[in-house]
Amino acid sequence: MESKMLSPAALIFLFLLLCRAAADSDSDLTAELLALQSRSQSGVIHLDDHSISRFLTSQKTPRPYSILIFFDAEQLHDKPELHLTALKKEFALLSSSFIANNQDNPIARSKLFFCEIEFKQSQSSFALFGVNSLPHIRLVGPHVRSLKESDQMDQGDFSRLAESMAEFIESRTKISVGPITRPPIVSKMQIMFIVAILLVWSPFMIKRVWAGETLLHDKKVWLFGAVFVYFFSVAGTMHNIIRKMPMFLADRNDPSKLVFFYQGSGMQLGAEGFAVGFLYTIVGVLMALVTHLLVKVRNLAVQRVVMILALLISFWAVKKVVYLDNWKTGYGVHAFWPSSW
């Protein structure tokens, strides 16, 4: 039986039909993602193994969208050193800010979607991405075929939270996220309540200030405040707050034990900072005592005894700080005497 070949016009028509079907499929997927996005308060879409297959692995490249995925594990939320809960909130803030900043740009909104997957629900997807540690964020671009080859956000970039995530997106996709809109720390009702309290209290406060009977007129308050600021500074507390460092960690070999000092220069626990700050504060207070109070003592014997004790305690405290630094970094501190002596 003789087969009939299709005419060139029929081939072109068939090709156009296939292209139209592919375009309709892409638009359907994008519309489905937009629908899922609208159901989420922050715009973050929750995915599982089935939806990973539907929107990523089973679709031919190039896909019409990029997907930024936050990998989560609820059983690890109680691990303070991972900061998963805080990073998840920052990821949701990033998503809501992107949607708010691109309300008038539907093309950009349809090019990037923010998603999350949970370990217990999507263990196969974790294996497809090759994720074996958290926190972890991946950007799957339109041309990515193997999920393991998708762009991974560096661990060091998590320190600046949503802002660093936005920079990661813009450097990879050239899509502008826009400014991160954070909710105000104090609500309008709280501000109105505080203002009302201040207005009621202001006459009494003005009276006490005029009479010099406030805490700000007490020298002891300024003294303890100065010591507190000094301790706060030398203990590296700002570093711990910015980096959100935990006070201690659980021992990996024995979870019932706690680790207060971490060996390694790349990490400092809160307990380490407080210990060093306490030692530095001892030295600072002793130096202030010697230079401001001891000089007023007329008894030379008392001056000498207190001076010797202050020097011995200061030497012990500094020695402990040097020992801790040597233990953490491996660098030793040695005495140096000039050759001319």
Judge if 99 and 168 occupy the same domain.
yes
Cβ distance 160 to 166 under 8 Å? no
Judge if 159 and 232 occupy the same domain.
no
- For residue 7, is it within any domain? no
Kindly report the CATH number assigned to the domain that includes residue 49.
3.40.30.10
Express each pLDDT in 297-312 by its tens digit: 888 888 889 889 999 9
Judge if 105 and 231 occupy the same domain.
no
Judge if 100 and 202 occupy the same domain.
no
- For residue 9, is it within any domain? no
pTM check: above 0.75: no
Domain range for 235 is 218-329
Express each pLDDT in 144-185 by its tens digit: 888 988 999 887 677 678 888 888 888 888 888 888 888 777
- For residue 201, is it within any domain? yes
Determine the residue type at 242. Answer: I
What are the two backbone dihedrals, phi and then psi, of residue 337, each rounded to the nearest 5 degrees? -115, 130
- For residue 121, is it within any domain? yes
- For residue 114, is it within any domain? yes
Judge if 191 and 288 occupy the same domain.
no
Confidence of residue 12 (pLDDT cuts 50, 70, 90): low
Strands 112-118 and 66-72: parallel
Judge if 90 and 225 occupy the same domain.
no
State how many domains the chain has.
3
Per-residue exposure over 121-141, b if at least 16 CB sit within 10 Å of its own CB, e if not: ebeebbebbebeebbbbbbbb
Judge if 206 and 234 occupy the same domain.
no
Judge if 239 and 324 occupy the same domain.
yes
Judge if 111 and 204 occupy the same domain.
no
Judge if 58 and 141 occupy the same domain.
yes
Query: What per-residue confidence (pLDDT) applies to 340?
Result: 64
Judge if 164 and 195 occupy the same domain.
no
Lookup: tokens for 32 = 């489905």
H or E element at residue 70: strand 66-72
Instruction: Return the bridge partners of 118, or none.
Output: 72
Judge if 272 and 129 occupy the same domain.
no
Query: What per-residue confidence (pLDDT) applies to 288?
Result: 86
